[in-house]
């Protein structure tokens, strides 16, 4: 066998392989299965019940669409195994050597503009900014997390269209500039997020344009956002 | 869900690369089902990293994930169903003059099954993926010298496996 024939044979040991018509459902089924497996392991272990319940957030049926605190149906294991709502990538990174990722999603009519994480530093965390309206100033939330042995601060928020980035000023660290991302979750919104080591206090968040100039005043107070708790989704304000 | 992420480029990437990645995974696992599972899991992992790697080298990322996944799986005590090459239905090796593409692939599969997973990974990455020794070393977390050694020994074992023709002998001497 010549070297070329060897290479060719090595590259295609299964010449008759056709594969699935569309492999994408398999890939996303894998994403979902891994999450369900995590929930099951937790449930079997009898520990971390709160985390189990929090993991069910995407499958919970939220009720009520008005402002203020939202309520949700009690945790239902069968609901947890239901279809995951689509989560669109927003940002990702590494903190304390652990991978994290934030995506946008819509949980229900009353929880449309949500930023979701289920990674190496957090169990399923969802922060929703439903009170934000198109064109309004930037809104944000800072959420201390210690779910998986890493004490971190998860910053999430929504900025209006036309925003290229946001600058986040911190009390005990240098400011960080975060890119914003448009996703199908809400075309009027520009989502952003970051996970920082330790417990951080955010002083303010400023929307920036393409040139890096401020678009409006710094927003010193976090906006209204809600997150999931052990027994209710979006029942507890983040801030 | 898949259609909705199409605009992020991930869907196109996954669809376009699926077959090629399964072939890579197969050359490491020698089992179509396990290869598909490995690619599926690797792409799922890639999806969570997509914002980070989409503008960089997503194929390199997923290739590394596949290789590491294959090596990790081989190190587990229980690996599920194992491919067997000594089953009665496997046809007997043919002579040199009868060797055709089917024989070559069959022989290659048998030979790869005899290699350690690390040797197999080196041979596949070096000769099927056309990566340099340095690139292979980075992926596998070993030295370039080890890559050269594994490549040489892997090819030597493949040749010793009884193929009627030479196999990458020139490459092995480089």
Q: Splitting chain A (239 residues) into consecutive groups of 10 residues, what average pLDDT does each group show? A: 77 83 81 59 38 36 26 30 68 87 80 84 83 90 86 95 95 93 91 94 94 92 65 45
The answer for residues whose C-beta is within 8 angstroms of residue B122's C-beta and 6 or more apart is: B136, B140, B147, B150, B151, B154
Minimum-distance CB partner of B4 among A11, A29, A86: A86
Chain B residues with CB-CB distance to A93 below 8 A: 52
Instruction: Report the pLDDT value the prediction gives residue B8, as an integer from 0 to 100.
Output: 65
Minimum-distance CB partner of A27 among B14, B19, B30: B14
A11: distance to nearest CA of chain B, Å? 5
Chain B residues with CB-CB distance to A10 below 8 A: 27, 108, 123-124, 127-128
Provide ipTM, 2 decimals. Answer: 0.71
User: If you write DSSP's letter for every residue of B13-63 in order, what string do you get?
Assistant: HHHHHHHHHHHHHHHHHS-HHHHHHHHHHHHHHHHHHHHHHTTS-HHHHHH
Tell me which residues of chain A, numbers 25 to 44, contact chain B at a CB-CB cutoff of 8 Å: 25-31, 34
Q: Does A4 lie at the interface with B, CB-CB under 8 angstroms?
A: no
**Cα angle B77-B80-B86, degrees, rounded to a multiple of 5:** 100
A31: distance to nearest CA of chain B, Å? 6
pLDDT tens string A104-152: 888 776 677 889 888 888 877 888 888 888 889 999 999 898 887 889 9
Chain B residues with CB-CB distance to A4 below 8 A: none
Chain B residues with CB-CB distance to A101 below 8 A: 48-49, 51
**Contact flag B171-A30 (C-beta cutoff 8 Å):** no
**Average pLDDT over all residues of chain B:** 76
Q: Does A21 lie at the interface with B, CB-CB under 8 angstroms?
A: no
- Please tell me the distance from the alpha carbon of residue A12 to that of residue B27, in angstroms, as a whole number: 8
Among chain A residues, CA nearest to B46 = A27
Q: Does A14 lie at the interface with B, CB-CB under 8 angstroms?
A: yes
In a structure prediction context, what are the per-residue pLDDT tens digits for chain B, which is 174 residues long? 444 444 468 888 998 999 999 999 999 999 888 899 899 989 988 887 888 888 888 998 999 899 988 887 776 544 444 444 443 344 444 444 445 667 777 888 888 888 888 899 999 999 888 899 999 998 888 889 999 999 999 888 887 765 544 444 444 444
Chain B residues with CB-CB distance to A34 below 8 A: 44
B128: distance to nearest CA of chain A, Å? 5
């Amino acid at each position: 066998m010549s070297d070329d024939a060897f290479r060719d044979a090595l590259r295609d040991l299964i010449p008759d392989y056709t594969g699935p018509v569309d492999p994408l459902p398999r890939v996303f089924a894998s994403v979902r299965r891994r999450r369900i497996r995590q929930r099951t392991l937790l449930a079997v272990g009898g520990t971390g019940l709160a985390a189990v319940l929090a993991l069910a957030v995407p499958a919970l049926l939220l009720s009520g669409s008005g402002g203020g605190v939202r309520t949700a149906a009690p945790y239902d294991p069968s609901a947890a195994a239901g279809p995951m709502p689509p989560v669109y990538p927003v940002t990702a990174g590494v903190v304390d050597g652990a991978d994290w990722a934030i995506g946008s999603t819509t949980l229900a009519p009353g929880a449309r503009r949500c930023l979701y994480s289920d990674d190496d530093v957090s169990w399923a965390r969802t922060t929703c900014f439903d009170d934000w309206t198109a064109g309004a100033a930037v809104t944000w939330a800072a959420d201390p997390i210690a779910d998986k042995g890493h004490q971190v601060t998860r910053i999430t928020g929504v900025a209006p269209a036309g925003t290229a980035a946001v600058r986040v000023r911190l009390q005990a660290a240098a400011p960080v500039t975060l890119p914003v991302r448009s996703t199908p979750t809400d075309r009027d919104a520009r989502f952003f997020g970051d996970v920082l080591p330790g417990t951080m206090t955010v002083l303010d968040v400023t929307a920036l344009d393409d040139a890096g100039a401020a678009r409006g005043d710094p927003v010193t107070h976090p906006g209204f956002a809600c997150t999931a708790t052990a027994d209710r989704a979006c029942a507890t304000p983040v801030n | 869900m898949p259609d909705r992420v199409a605009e992020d480029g991930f869907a196109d990437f996954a669809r376009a690369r699926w077959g090629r990645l399964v072939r890579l995974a197969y050359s490491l696992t020698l089992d179509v089902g396990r290869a598909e599972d490995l690619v599926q899991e690797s792409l799922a992992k890639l999806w969570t990293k997509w914002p980070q790697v989409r503008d960089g080298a997503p194929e390199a990322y997923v290739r590394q994930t596949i290789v590491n996944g294959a090596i990790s799986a081989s190190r587990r005590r229980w690996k599920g169903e194992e491919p067997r090459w000594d089953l009665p239905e496997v046809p007997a090796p043919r002579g040199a003059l009868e060797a055709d593409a089917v024989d070559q692939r069959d022989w290659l599969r048998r030979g790869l099954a005899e290699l350690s997973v690390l040797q197999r990974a080196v041979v596949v990455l070096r000769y099927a993926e056309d990566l340099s020794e340095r690139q292979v070393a980075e992926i596998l977390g070993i030295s370039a010298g080890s890559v050269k050694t594994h490549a040489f020994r892997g090819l030597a074992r493949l040749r010793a496996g009884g193929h009627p023709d030479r196999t990458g002998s020139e490459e092995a001497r480089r």
